[in-house]
Amino acid sequence: MERTTVKPTFFSKMYCNLFGHDYHVTKKVTRHVKEYKCCHCKKELTTNSNGKLTELTSTFKDINNVLEFMYHKKLSRVQQKMYNTSAA
Ligand SMILES: [Zn+2]
């Protein structure tokens, strides 16, 4: 028996064609960049450099991973700075 549970079903695609995608935020990369996934057909989107939504390709996933890393690094540096200032 073949298992096809990962692939979106015909019905899910039909639903999205009729009613539109139902996107939910799956990941907050930075304050402005987020990743979204349609809960029906599992289509993924992300915010690109123009602030517009675009399909989440493996290239964009890589970019987002770097963005996320840099964003958190910057955040922790700011927090450390605040800590040092208050401790002094
Ligand atoms: Zn959809």
Neighbours of 8 (CB within 10 A): 15
* pLDDT tens track for 3-48: 555 566 888 888 999 999 999 999 999 999 999 999 999 999 999 9
Cα(32) to ligand 1 centroid in Å equals 22
The domain locations on the chain are 10-83
Q: How far is the CA of 9 from the centre of ligand 1 (A)?
A: 11
Residue 28: name the closest of 12, 42, 47 by CA.
Answer: 47
Which stretch of DSSP H or E encloses residue 28? strand 23-28
CA of 17 relative to ligand 1 center, distance in Å: 8
What residues have a C-beta under 5 A from ligand 1, the ion? 16, 21, 38, 40-41, 43
In tens, the pLDDT along 44-83 reads: 999 998 999 999 999 999 999 999 999 999 888 988 888 8
